[in-house]
């Protein structure tokens, strides 16, 4: 099938051609016709399948056919869960509608409302919005949704996950009963299935292949590495690889910030994008990355949801996700729309269970790279214990452990996006090698101070060359061999 077969306006065909779209993606081929014909639609498709064009192109065409330049009520509403996704959809409407006179604007929370209100006052045909800000501006009387002709509920399952379903229902209550409704959701939890029955009339169903099948396009590699050495491995890899843009996923927001600090220290330009960052910081990080001003973007799952970056050659899972579908979503950021890409994952001993789940879901085993400077040396799960106090920067690590009676300094607890049960590694801070006496033995220390030291029974020899096995799973250490020349 070609785009011409879809009966799209020449202006849309021209825009698609300029974007390099040769043939419609599966969701586009199935959805564009029915949406042009005014049908309701349920699309089981996720970001990365080309679903934005699947709804944006026919909506633009329908709007263009009856544009009144003197009076522009909002005629199409796209409701989407995150600001990033809203901005991206806004960009797509601009790109696909480049040769049309349809006007669109994007509104979302976390920023001042004045510029958004001003844009709305000029009149727009398409509004792309997140639910909170939309309800807010409706309540203030800045937005009237009574003339909406087409309503798109994007990433409905994500709306549910993020606790927006109440806001979504509030928006739906503001819409006219007679309208076209398109609902997109990667999965169909019960609540969303129930919602579809309430808000859609005789919908066409479009389902694109489940996400696990997209994995086949992507080259994958696994590096088994101890948690404490992940950051070293990351720097080493980035220095040895040529990719100009790399998206790195971490499990936590703190983790993302830590990785950015490490990379910056190693002179690798990087920024983080996560929920603790202001909207301005997130937009800046994303645009710096897209423009090539920084090489590495470090993201948590929620922040990265829906981010579309063109020709992303490499994704690195600094931490493996404990939800296997998340792995598929993450690596789907590379190898998009038929392009091939590479996904590298780091896996420490505790994450081997996640690896098993991922390989079960994708029905593939990820090739392991053995030849790297920091192979896994710890083959025991770390026990879950309270985080030890952070060592002060001035003190050597060996003396930095909490003294009896000293006040407990607890690190602020961060909600972690997609990591929950399963064995979770205790964060082990590896100090600068020179601060640790070679004879430090964590097994002895933890026996003497069970509640104050990490659960690790041994650690890498800080003076051993990278990759050399210096400890065994039972806690024994391999004695250091002296080089013959240095024997006294």
Binding site for ligand AMP (CB under 6 A): 21, 24-25, 28, 47-53, 308, 310, 336-337
- In the complex, the smallest distance separating the C-beta of residue 96 from ligand AMP, rounded to whole angstroms, is 9
Cβ closest to ligand AMP, residue 26 vs residue 426:
26
Pairing relation of β-strands 270-273 and 296-299?
parallel
Cβ closest to ligand AMP, residue 24 vs residue 454:
24
List, in order, residues 6 or more apart from 53 with CB less than 8 Å away.
Answer: 16, 21, 25, 28, 92, 96
What's phi and psi for 427, nearest 5 deg?
-65, 120
- Coil, strand or helix: which one is 58? helix
Beta strand residue intervals within 250-359, DSSP E: 270-273, 296-299, 314-317, 341-347
List, in order, residues 6 or more apart from 278 with CB less than 8 Å away.
Answer: 110
C-beta neighbour count of 427 within 10 angstroms: 18
List, in order, residues 6 or more apart from 330 with CB less than 8 Å away.
Answer: 249, 301, 304, 315, 317, 321, 343
What's phi and psi for 55, nearest 5 deg?
-100, -35
The residues facing 224 across adjacent strands are: 347
Cβ closest to ligand AMP, residue 16 vs residue 400:
16
> What is d(CA 80, CA 89) in angstroms, rounded to the nearest whole number?
9
- In the complex, the smallest distance separating the C-beta of residue 305 from ligand AMP, rounded to whole angstroms, is 11
Cβ closest to ligand AMP, residue 21 vs residue 327:
21
List, in order, residues 6 or more apart from 405 with CB less than 8 Å away.
Answer: none
- In the complex, the smallest distance separating the C-beta of residue 84 from ligand AMP, rounded to whole angstroms, is 11
**Is 249 within 8 Å of 317 (Cβ atoms)?**
yes
Task: Give 181-216 as a DSSP string.
Answer: EEEE-SS--HHHHHHHHHH-SS-EEEEPPPGGGGGG
Cβ closest to ligand AMP, residue 120 vs residue 312:
312
- In the complex, the smallest distance separating the C-beta of residue 243 from ligand AMP, rounded to whole angstroms, is 18
- In the complex, the smallest distance separating the C-beta of residue 27 from ligand AMP, rounded to whole angstroms, is 8
Residue 98's closest CA among 169, 9, 23, 174?
Answer: 9
> What is d(CA 62, CA 37) in angstroms, rounded to the nearest whole number?
9
Edge-first strand listing for the sheet containing 76-79: 104-107, 126-129, 76-79, 150-153, 180-184, 41-44, 204-207
**Is 221 within 8 Å of 344 (Cβ atoms)?**
yes
Cβ closest to ligand AMP, residue 12 vs residue 296:
12
- In the complex, the smallest distance separating the C-beta of residue 218 from ligand AMP, rounded to whole angstroms, is 14
> What is d(CA 249, CA 319) in angstroms, rounded to the nearest whole number?
7
Contacts 24+ apart (CB under 8 A), 406-410: 410/386
- In the complex, the smallest distance separating the C-beta of residue 308 from ligand AMP, rounded to whole angstroms, is 5
Cβ closest to ligand AMP, residue 21 vs residue 289:
21
- In the complex, the smallest distance separating the C-beta of residue 205 from ligand AMP, rounded to whole angstroms, is 18
- Coil, strand or helix: which one is 138? helix
- In the complex, the smallest distance separating the C-beta of residue 236 from ligand AMP, rounded to whole angstroms, is 31
Cβ closest to ligand AMP, residue 48 vs residue 324:
48
Pairing relation of β-strands 270-273 and 41-44?
unpaired
- In the complex, the smallest distance separating the C-beta of residue 49 from ligand AMP, rounded to whole angstroms, is 5
- In the complex, the smallest distance separating the C-beta of residue 182 from ligand AMP, rounded to whole angstroms, is 13
- In the complex, the smallest distance separating the C-beta of residue 55 from ligand AMP, rounded to whole angstroms, is 9
């Amino acid at each position: 099938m070609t785009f011409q077969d879809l009966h799209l306006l020449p202006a849309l065909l021209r825009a698609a051609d300029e974007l390099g779209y040769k043939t419609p993606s599966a969701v586009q081929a199935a959805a564009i016709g029915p949406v042009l014909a005014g049908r309701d639609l349920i699309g089981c498709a996720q970001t990365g399948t080309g679903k934005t064009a699947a709804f944006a192109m026919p909506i633009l065409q329908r709007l263009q056919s009856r544009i009144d330049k003197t009076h522009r009520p909002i005629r199409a509403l796209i409701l989407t869960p995150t600001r990033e996704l809203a901005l991206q959809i806004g960009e797509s409407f601009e790109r696909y509608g480049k040769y049309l006179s349809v006007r669109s604007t994007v509104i979302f929370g976390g920023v001042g409302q004045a510029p958004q209100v001003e844009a709305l006052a000029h009149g727009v045909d398409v509004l792309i919005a997140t639910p909170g800000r939309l309800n807010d501006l409706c309540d203030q009387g800045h937005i009237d949704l009574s003339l909406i002709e087409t309503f798109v509920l994007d990433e409905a399952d994500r709306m549910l996950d993020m606790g927006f379903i109440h806001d979504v229902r509030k928006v739906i209550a503001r819409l006219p009963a007679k309208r076209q409704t398109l609902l997109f959701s990667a999965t169909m939890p019960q609540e969303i299935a129930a919602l579809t029955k309430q808000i859609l009339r005789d919908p066409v169903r479009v389902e694109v292949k489940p996400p696990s099948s997209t994995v086949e396009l992507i080259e994958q590699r696994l590096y088994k590495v101890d948690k404490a050495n992940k950051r070293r491995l990351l720097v080493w890899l980035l220095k040895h690889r040529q990719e100009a843009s790399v998206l790195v996923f971490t499990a936590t927001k703190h983790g993302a910030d830590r990785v950015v600090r490490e990379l910056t220290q190693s002179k690798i330009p990087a920024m983080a994008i996560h929920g603790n960052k202001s909207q301005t910081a997130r937009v800046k990080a994303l645009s710096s990355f897209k423009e090539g001003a920084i090489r590495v973007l470090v993201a948590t799952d929620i922040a990265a949801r829906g981010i579309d970056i063109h020709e992303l050659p490499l994704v690195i899972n600094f931490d493996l996700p404990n939800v296997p579908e998340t792995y598929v979503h993450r690596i789907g950021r590379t190898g998009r729309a038929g392009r091939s890409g590479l996904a590298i994952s780091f896996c420490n001993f505790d994450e081997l269970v996640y690896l098993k789940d991922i390989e079960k879901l994708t029905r593939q085993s990820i090739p392991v790279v053995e030849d790297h400077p920091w192979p896994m040396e710890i083959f025991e799960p770390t026990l879950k214990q309270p985080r030890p106090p952070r060592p002060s920067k001035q003190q050597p690590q060996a003396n930095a452990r909490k003294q009896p009676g000293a006040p407990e300094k607890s690190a602020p607890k961060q909600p972690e996006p997609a990591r929950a049960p399963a064995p979770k590694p205790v964060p082990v801070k590896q100090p600068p090698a020179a601060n640790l006496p070679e004879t430090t033995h964590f097994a002895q220390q933890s026996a003497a101070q069970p509640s104050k030291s990490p659960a690790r029974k041994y650690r890498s020899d800080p003076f051993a060359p990278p990759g050399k096995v210096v400890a065994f799973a039972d806690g024994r250490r391999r004695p250091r061999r002296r080089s013959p020349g240095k024997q006294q």
